[in-house]
């Protein structure tokens, strides 16, 4: 929002009082004042009078023009804005947010909102539009496509806007974002193809009621604690079902890449080498993770979700968790409404919580699936207008409003205070607020969309391998990822 600063001062008044006081010194008490009525004017140089007159009038200093573009050039600009997600009726939430911007912004910018989430595959339909050279001015999109769109020359590096002294982010505003996603949301450590607007997180769902029955009054905070509780639950399941060969009961493992990245972050590993294009799955950290998975299987404390990578896997996963066939499962906070644990013998449903992925040393992590604002190439005036709209969207007030429409999480820490009432009304959702500090973004690389499929396939196979086979399998995954990087660049 353009600010106008009024610059007023007491200095002119002090000059006038001083001049009057000086003139009064020439009047002797008890004697008539015979000086001319214009003596004050005659004793002050005309130039000084002009200066006093000018200083008495408050000056209006307009905010400097950003990027050499006059503010007046933004008046009347129309922007097309695409987005996908809305929890209730299509367009209801985002339309309300955009309507407010249109009615309140001081630049005369008008935004037309287009809900692209009305098709079975929104991203595919959007890509088709791009092929037909139809693009919006500004968009909110899943981060998975950003790197490819930037490499294709479709979208702007937002650094040029964010660092601008007039319209950019202050250091305080930058620090307001959760650092784990803000700092990692770049290409090769430099280019910013988007700004995080909202997020979901990949978490562990933990049956806290069952855990307490097993004697654990806090969720696992390390890999060892997770293994201990998973084994206790698996033993209880075998006793309950009178099936000594049963695999269920402990931790339900889903090798989806979103879960794998969360585990790797918890083990303090990296996925993409900083500033490079090399994936690193054969590291010591990833090997340790793999061996721990195999150990869970060998001990009968963890079992693989059946049917992966069939899309129905997520439904099976919640069904198993809801029926107490697993103490712990991996899934997205986006699917929180599917957790409906049935009544147990106690006559009441189990309670549950969302927890981060724990590492061997107690490190905690969740992977953030970020929905990001991005700007498409257009005229300088339209791009500036698009940035001002994006800055409005990422404000804490608008993020808080969008959370209540979408059920997602904010990307700024200073939004949480605005969501207290919403958190009281949605206590399980509120648990996720405490996990946002552990969030890290998926790699921003054009190859990740296809590499992540290879990661899921590899870790599904790895679960049934012998410990001595782990190193070679991870090296093969590195080689496969490298080949896919080359493939996506051709």
Say if 404 falls within a structural domain.
yes
pLDDT of residue 120: 64
Q: What range does the domain containing 417 cover? A: 73-197+371-429
Q: Are residues 91 and 192 in the same domain?
A: yes
pLDDT of residue 307: 85
Please list the rounded mean pLDDT of every run of 10 residues in the chain (490 residues): 36 38 38 39 39 41 78 96 70 89 97 82 83 93 90 94 95 94 86 94 97 97 97 95 90 95 96 82 96 94 90 86 95 93 80 97 96 96 97 96 93 96 95 96 91 95 93 96 89
Say if 157 falls within a structural domain.
yes
pLDDT of residue 86: 57
**pTM listed for this prediction:** 0.84
Q: Are residues 346 and 302 in the same domain?
A: yes
Q: Are residues 303 and 210 in the same domain?
A: yes
Say if 435 falls within a structural domain.
no
pLDDT of residue 331: 94
Output the six-digit token pair for 269: 């590993």
pLDDT of residue 90: 57
pLDDT of residue 3: 34
> Distance between CA 193 and CA 141 in Å, rounded?
11
Tell me if 109 sits within 8 A of 77, measured CB to CB. yes
Return the SS3 of 370: strand
Q: Are residues 304 and 359 in the same domain?
A: yes
> Distance between CA 171 and CA 272 in Å, rounded?
27
**Greatest pairwise CA separation for the chain in angstroms:** 120
The number of domains in the chain is 3
Q: Are residues 394 and 463 in the same domain?
A: no
pLDDT of residue 183: 86
pLDDT of residue 184: 83
Number of Cβ within a 10 Å radius of residue 317: 25
CATH number at 331 reads: 3.40.190.10
Say if 187 falls within a structural domain.
yes
Q: Are residues 262 and 117 in the same domain?
A: no
pLDDT of residue 247: 87
Say if 437 falls within a structural domain.
no
Output the six-digit token pair for 286: 């990833």
Total residues belonging to the chain? 490
Out of 42, 63, 84, a domain closes at 63
> Distance between CA 326 and CA 207 in Å, rounded?
8
pLDDT of residue 219: 97
pLDDT of residue 91: 67
pLDDT of residue 438: 97
């Amino acid at each position: 929002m353009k600010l106008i600063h009024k610059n007023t001062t007491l200095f002119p008044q002090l000059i006038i009082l001083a001049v009057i006081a000086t003139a009064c010194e020439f009047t002797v008490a008890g004697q008539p004042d015979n000086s001319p009525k214009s003596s004050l004017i005659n004793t002050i140089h005309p130039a000084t009078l002009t200066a006093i007159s000018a200083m008495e009038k408050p000056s209006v200093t307009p905010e400097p023009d950003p990027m050499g573009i006059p503010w007046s050039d933004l008046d009347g600009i129309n922007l097309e804005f695409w987005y996908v997600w809305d929890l209730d009726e299509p367009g209801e939430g985002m339309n309300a947010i955009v309507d407010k911007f249109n009615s309140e912004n001081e630049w005369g910018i008008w935004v037309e909102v287009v809900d692209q989430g009305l098709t079975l595959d929104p991203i595919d339909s959007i890509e088709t539009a791009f092929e037909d050279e139809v693009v919006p001015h500004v968009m909110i999109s899943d981060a998975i496509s950003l790197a490819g769109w930037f490499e294709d020359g479709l979208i702007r590096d937002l650094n040029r806007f964010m660092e601008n002294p007039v319209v950019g982010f202050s250091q305080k505003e930058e620090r307001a974002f959760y650092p784990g996603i803000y700092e990692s949301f770049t290409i090769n450590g430099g280019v910013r193809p988007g700004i995080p607007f909202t997020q979901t997180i990949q978490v562990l769902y933990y049956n806290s009621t069952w855990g307490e029955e097993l004697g654990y009054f806090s969720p696992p905070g390390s890999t060892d604690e997770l293994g201990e509780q998973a084994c206790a639950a698996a033993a209880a399941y075998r006793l309950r079902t009178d099936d000594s060969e049963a695999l269920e009961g402990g931790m339900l493992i889903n090798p989806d890449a979103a879960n794998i990245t969360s585990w790797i972050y918890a083990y303090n590993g990296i996925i993409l080498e900083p500033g490079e294009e090399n994936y690193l799955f054969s590291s010591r950290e990833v090997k340790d993770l793999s061996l721990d998975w195999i150990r869970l299987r060998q001990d009968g404390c963890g079992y693989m979700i059946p049917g992966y990578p069939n899309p129905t896997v997520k439904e099976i996963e919640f069904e198993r968790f809801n029926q107490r066939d697993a103490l712990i499962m991996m899934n997205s906070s986006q699917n929180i409404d599917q957790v409906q644990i049935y009544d147990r013998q106690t006559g009441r449903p189990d309670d549950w919580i969302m927890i981060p992925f724990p590492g061997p040393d107690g490190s905690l992590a969740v992977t953030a699936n970020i929905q990001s604002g991005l700007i498409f190439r257009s005229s300088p005036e339209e791009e500036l207008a698009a940035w001002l709209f994006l800055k409005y969207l990422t404000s804490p007030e608008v993020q808080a409003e969008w959370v209540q429409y979408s059920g997602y999480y904010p990307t700024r820490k200073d939004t949480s205070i605005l969501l207290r009432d919403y958190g009281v009304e949605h206590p399980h959702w509120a648990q996720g607020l405490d996990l946002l500090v552990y969030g890290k973004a998926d790699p921003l690389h054009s190859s990740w969309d296809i590499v992540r499929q290879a990661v899921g396939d590899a870790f599904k196979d790895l679960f049934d391998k012998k410990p001595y086979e782990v190193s070679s399998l991870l090296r093969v995954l590195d080689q496969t990822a490298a080949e896919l990087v080359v493939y996506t660049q051709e």
